[in-house]
Amino acid sequence: METETHLNRSFWLLKIVYGLVPIVAGLDKFTNLLTDWAQYLSPLATKIIPIAPSTFMHVVGVIEIAAGILVLTRLTRIGAYVVSAWLFCIAMNLVTTGHYFDIAVRDLVMSCGAFVLGELAAIHAPVPRVTTQRRELQPH
């Protein structure tokens, strides 16, 4: 029973953190109160994306907010995997800047944590299986 308590606490801590942090970071993409987010955009990315970096960061913000909301809902597992993949992509973007390697490593570690949340979500609230067996009606 103690193991179950530890798993439950771990699940809820990760769920809250990986739900709220993307929402806060996503909202900040519109205000730049924490940092100027466009500075972290790779020159390679700025050549590829067909919109201004600030507009791109607004799109990024919307995606982060949506991912955080997913984590906080009953779709925690899906949201956690989205956050994990998103953080991995952010880390790869940072590596291509030639700078911010410390932040890239941090984001890779956070990506692993989000993946673990997805795995814990499978244990915490398993997705019901759809059976293909037909039930025979039994006469009473």
Q: Is residue 76 part of a domain?
A: yes
Res 126: pLDDT: 54
Q: Does residue 59 sit within a domain?
A: yes
Q: Examine residue 36 and state whether it is found in any structural domain, yes or no.
A: yes
In a domain, 133, yes or no: no
Which residue pairs from 5-12 have beta carbons closer than 8 angstroms and sit at least 24 positions apart in sequence? 7/120, 7/123, 7/124, 8/124, 10/120, 11/117, 11/120, 11/121, 11/123, 11/124
Q: How many domains does the chain have?
A: 1
Is residue 131 a part of any domain in this protein? no
Residue 139 located in a structural domain: no
27 close to 66: Cβ distance less than 8 angstroms: no
DSSP sequence for 91-124: HHHHHHHTS-HHHHHHHHHHHHHHHHHHHHHHHH
Residue 13 lies in a domain: yes
Per-residue confidence in pLDDT tens, the chain, 140 aa: 687 888 889 999 999 999 999 999 999 999 999 999 999 999 998 999 999 999 999 999 999 999 999 999 999 999 999 999 999 999 999 999 999 999 999 999 999 999 999 999 998 865 555 556 555 565 65
Give the pLDDT confidence score for residue 101 in this predicted structure.
96
pLDDT of 131: 58
pLDDT at 124: 82
Other residues' Cβ atoms within 10 Å of the Cβ of residue 90: 21
Range of the domain at 104: 2-124
Beta carbons of 63 and 26 less than 8 angstroms apart:
yes
If phi > 0 it is left, if psi is from -120 to 50 it is alpha, else beta; for residue 41 that is: beta
In this structure, is residue 132 part of a structural domain? no
